[in-house]
Structure 1
Amino acid sequence: MKRILFALCSLLLLFTSGFNDVQAKSKEEWQDSGEIVWNVPSERKLIAITFDDGPHPLYTPLIMDVLQKHQAKATFFVIGKHAERYPELLQRGVEEGHEIGNHTYEHVGMQGISDDLFLQQLEKTEQAIIAATGIRPVFFRSVGGYYDDRLITLAADEGYRTIIWSWHQDSRDWKRPGVANIINNVAPGSHPGDIVLFHDAGGNRSETVKALDKILDQLEKEGFEFVTVSELLLHSGYEGIPSELIGL
């Protein structure tokens, strides 16, 4: 009986020890590490506008036209297979001062993805971006903003920093809630250092195009400047990401 109890205690100790080893880092710990960025403390009125899921042959050029109208810079987190199909849109983006990030090759779900498939998604998209622009991306955004210790570490080992978005700055444009709702989801709650999420593909983005023009106009009047993620980090003196990883 004593042997059975001893064995059970040993198993329990082993289990709890292993459990403690795999505890996830808190959001604050990840933010402090610099390996994930949600927003950046900034004394200047800087905002990073970001777009996921493109490029798209119709909506991405229209969005770039709006950005050009407002002399705004943005970061586009592209899907690799779309980048392969429309490399000229990535080239235009870079020529106009925008930044290109990695958003996986096929927009696959992140939860439970194997290491090999995750790294394959990063690598294929990276090669597509390099082929189009000659620039290696340094920022990664996971599908749906999902993250866990394993994926963030894998991305970091490949030289990427994961960029999410300010949780209060999700335009929710993917729902097509109407232009007014997209504006209200972004403009009233904007703060210096925010990272804002939009989409330039994945469906009809005509509402996004119209709302973006009005959002930029409103925030311009409030004194905001629109910069890439790299510029936001650089101008804010953010120390969580080494300067050699900032894509400028």
Structure 2
Amino acid sequence: MQQGGGNPLHRSCLKWIGIMLAVCLTIPPHAKVRAEKTAPNVVKNRAYYESRGDILWEVPTDKKVVALTFDDGPDATRTALILDLLKQYDAKATFFVLGKKVERYPDLVLREMREGHEIANHTYSHSMNKTKSIPFMMEEIRKTQNIILEVTGQRPRLYRPPGGIYNETLVRESRKEGLLTVMWSWHQDTRDWARPGTYKIVNKVLGNIRNGDIILFHDHVIGSMQTVEALKIIIPALKEQGYKFVTVSDLIQYDERYKSVEHLHPVRRN
């Protein structure tokens, strides 16, 4: 048996145990606390965004109010006819306009505003390619904000992403611009842009109507008058049922999450 130094393997193990103990003792106590308090990743789904008041799909209310919304305009023919119908039935709506169309038809946008409707931002060119960068999308949004301000004297407070495509960064950056992201009630996507037929549009809306709905239409559908014809049936039918047609900003006032949100009120130019 070897004398004096003991087993070399045993001495090596003791040495490494000592090193590990020394390392553990040098770790700051707060580092361990931080690790223990680290929360799991938050699932950023509809419930997450609604709970934060970052995105609006619809408003829970016992009042018979709904918001008619129109995307992609203005359109020289269809927007004018829709405005005539809204005026006939004393209905208000929200128009999510494209900056390039506002430049082309400023008089229609002015008419929308003067007749009590709401003008909202739908980007400049309706680019909904998922590969587009955040700086590109924000430039589209800011450019449209400035165009609408120049035409109407008001800066919109609502924004709808083309195609309903959004992500955490886009929601956050648009909020920094004072914009609330507005989608639509999932059961009220009329898909009128696909020209499904006048009565399919009518049945989609009337068959699924609920208090606080945000209903999606388009006032620019090339070669189709189906939306206009459907509205001739939808608006009087809902009015007969006791529904009131309000702008999205007015609908928001029925939601406790947004009642005191100052940035939702239009800002007038001096």
Q: Shared topology, TM-score over 0.5?
A: yes
Q: 1:155 to 1:179 in 2, by over 3 A?
A: same
- The Cα offsets for residues 176-231 of structure 1, whole Å up to 9 and x where unpaired, read as 11111110111111000000000001413411001012001111111100000011
Counterpart of 2:110 (choices 91, 94, 108) is: 91
Count of residue pairs brought into register by the alignment: 227
- Distance in 2 (alpha carbons) for counterparts of 1:119 and 1:24: 25
Counterpart of 1:218 in structure 2 is 237
Counterpart of 1:243 in structure 2 is 261
- The Cα offsets for residues 126-164 of structure 1, whole Å up to 9 and x where unpaired, read as 111111110000000001111211111111111110000
- Distance in 2 (alpha carbons) for counterparts of 1:240 and 1:231: 11
Greater Cα offset, 54-63 or 142-151: 142-151
Say which SS state the counterpart of residue 168 (structure 1) adopts: helix
TM-score between the two structures when normalised by the length of structure 1:
0.88
* Higher Cα Rg, which structure: 2
Within 5 Å, give how 1:80-229 maps onto structure 2: 80-229=99-248
- Distance in 2 (alpha carbons) for counterparts of 1:83 and 1:209: 20
- Distance in 1 (alpha carbons) for counterparts of 2:180 and 2:135: 19
Q: State the Cα distance separating 1:116 from its structure 2 match.
A: 1.3
Query: Where in structure 1 are there 5+ consecutive unaligned residues?
Result: 1-19
Greater Cα offset, 237-246 or 64-73: 237-246
Counterpart of 1:60 in structure 2 is 79
- The Cα offsets for residues 92-141 of structure 1, whole Å up to 9 and x where unpaired, read as 00110000010010000152321211111001111111111100000000
CA contact under 8 A between 1:79 and 1:104: conserved in structure 2?
yes
Q: State the Cα distance separating 1:242 from its structure 2 match.
A: 4.6
After TM superposition, the runs of 4+ consecutive aligned structure 1 residues lying more than 4 A away are none
CA contact under 8 A between 1:32 and 1:240: conserved in structure 2?
no
Say which SS state the counterpart of residue 132 (structure 1) adopts: helix
Greater Cα offset, 144-153 or 223-232: 144-153
CA contact under 8 A between 1:102 and 1:140: conserved in structure 2?
yes
Q: State the Cα distance separating 1:240 from its structure 2 match.
A: 3.9
Query: Where in structure 2 are there 5+ consecutive unaligned residues?
Result: 1-39
Q: 1:233 to 1:27 in 2, by over 3 A?
A: same
- Distance in 1 (alpha carbons) for counterparts of 2:158 and 2:138: 14
Say which SS state the counterpart of residue 113 (structure 1) adopts: coil
Percent of aligned pairs with the same residue? 42
Say which SS state the counterpart of residue 197 (structure 1) adopts: strand
Say which SS state the counterpart of residue 186 (structure 2) adopts: coil
TM-score between the two structures when normalised by the length of structure 2:
0.81
- Distance in 1 (alpha carbons) for counterparts of 2:259 and 2:135: 26
CA contact under 8 A between 1:138 and 1:159: conserved in structure 2?
yes
Q: 1:24 to 1:128 in 2, by over 3 A?
A: farther
Which amino acid letter does the alignment assign opposite residue 247 of structure 1?
Answer: H
